[in-house]
Amino acid sequence: MQLAEVADGTYYWVTMSRSLTIAASLFLVTLSVSPLNAALAAPVRTASGLVSGLAGADPSVTAFKGIPFAAPPTGDLRWRAPKPPVAWQETRKAEQFSDSCIQKIVPERKPWTTEFMAHNQISEDCLYLNVWTAAKAAADKRPVLVWFHGGGYNEGSTAVPVYDGEELARKGLVVVTVNYRLGLIGYLAHPELSKESGHNASGNYGTLDQIAALHWVRQNIAAFGGDPGRVTIAGQSAGASSVHNMTASPLAKGLFHRAIAESGSAVVANNRVAGIREAEQAGLRFAASKGAQSIQQLRAMSWKDLSDLSGSPTSGFRPVVDGWVLPESLADTFAHGTQNDVPTLTGMTADEGSSAKDYGTIPATEFEAQVQKRFGDLAREFLKLYPATADQSQKTSAREQGMVSMYLWAVNRAKTAKTKAFTYYWNHAEPGPDQARYGAFHTSEVPYVFNTLKQSNRPWTPLDHKLAEVVGAYWVNFVTTADPNGKDLAPWPAFDPKSAVTMEIGDKTAPRPVADQARIAFFARYFTRPDATAR
């Protein structure tokens, strides 16, 4: 018997034959990255076994879909840190996406039309990732992009059409997209789970899945022509939040070297994450609602008996400050300078809140009443800056408070970070019948980043295709060099606390002011209040 380490820092015993298999696999992976300058071997050997992929629409790119990076978290492994995948003997055909993690599957949820949604089967057996690569040899050592999908920690999947990695692989990256457990299955905390963990912590299983995937990348990506020393983590919405969690987690230290957070960087005083004891009490209440006296009884139930997928895509099960995966809040982590300090690119869309039914169209008297309720004694000052009777006040105030919040986040980051940050403001609205209604909606830049416009049934224009090339070039440059700037691109200044500007990307691409000084000063005062809200 031999002791082996797994991704979550715990250990398990394996037989000597299993250990020899792992050792042999690692030896062969080492051979594959030696400077032989041969064509990328097919099939590719990972630490768990051989995998064969599928040629993309561009035959220079090979996609490997549905590679397990952890054992199925089912049965007694439900609500536990991920365990290593079970090795296989024959070549595994990695030609289709795995099942998505447990969630409600819907055709669309406007403004997110079908290309933004998962449409495949769901299962607890969902801890798989995908790799796109155009490397010709393992020694190519191409920069690696690891993508965490969005969906509010309750929806989403690597099978979402806009996350197809072929175009970015054509541009020189090795692209990895990762499933992780969601909602109740991914984030339930409970005193029994904390006790059995050995860390007095529970919840955050989806976050541990992401960390396990990064360990898989470090161990295996060289065999696909990727550079394990040049890994960028990226994501949008909950995926952006996940990126921030990786920067705050000591368990992810050294596993990545740059970060991209799309629609996920803001400073709000009460934008807090639940603590472990609070989350455990919520777990006890959930168990009681199911008539369960113990975690054993909950594990004996099917996921269908546990999960209510009939209603809202949101739930109370999200990442928690557990003292282990996340030792403290993100704000405290950065204030103390204990983050995983890597170059960071982050930004927002102009109409982050346009999914709200009354976005930008509230009658002036109602808008004024909402301002009074939200801002209290600051309401009069707000209404001087953004008069309720002005046609664009509602949208302008929402957009500028988002940019100011992002600017203040970057100011706080700069107090302890030694690495650069780059911020952006995406203001191009996707064409189509809902363009005027939703504008540049939350996560709408994603199809441009991946250049997956062909996945959408929209009347794309030459400007849209040009934007996809431009934003893709910025992202590829950042993943490659930690700086988005490059030939034939408008200069993108690094964040400077003394200059309140961000990079506008859209119909015009150039640096722009965040807001005027009076408005910046107003939101700076408001966001320090304990009762401040994001909107």
Q: Is 145 within 8 Å of 169 (Cβ atoms)? A: no
Exactly one of 155, 262, 352, 368 is catalytic; name it: 352
* Interatomic CA distance for residues 13 and 1, integer angstroms: 6
Instruction: Report the interhelical angle of 517-527 vs 393-414 (nearest 10°).
Output: 70
Exactly one of 149, 190, 428, 442 is catalytic; name it.
442
Residue whose C-alpha is closest to residue 149's, from 52, 264, 53: 264
CA distances from 283 to 185, 205, 276, 290 (A): 12, 14, 10, 11
352 flagged as catalytic = yes
Instruction: For CA atoms 481, 486, 490, 493, give the dihedral sign.
Output: positive
The 3-class SS string of 233-292 reads EEEECHHHHHHHHHHHCHHHCCCCCEEEEECCCCCCCCCCCCEHHHHHHHHHHHHHHCCC
Is 167 one of the catalytic residues? Answer: no
Q: Report the DSSP pairing between strands 501-505 and 421-426.
A: parallel
484 prior amide bond cis, ω within 30 = no
> Longest C-alpha distance within the chain, in Å?
75
Q: From CA 228, how far away is CA 236, in angstroms rounded? A: 22
Residue in 98, 202, 237, 397 annotated catalytic = 237
* Residue 237 annotated in active site: yes
Cβ partners under 8 Å of residue 481, min gap 6: none
Six-digit token string for 489: 């691109």
Burial of 208 (C-beta count, 10 Å sphere; 0-12/13-18/19+): buried
The candidate with the shortest Cα–Cα distance to 6, out of 75, 73, 96, 101, is 73
Q: Which two tokens stand for residue 62?
A: 């090979």
Instruction: Name 64's Cβ contacts closer than 8 Å, sequence gap at least 6.
Output: 44, 51, 52, 53, 54, 94, 130, 131, 132, 133, 224
Q: Which residues are catalytic?
A: 237, 352, 442
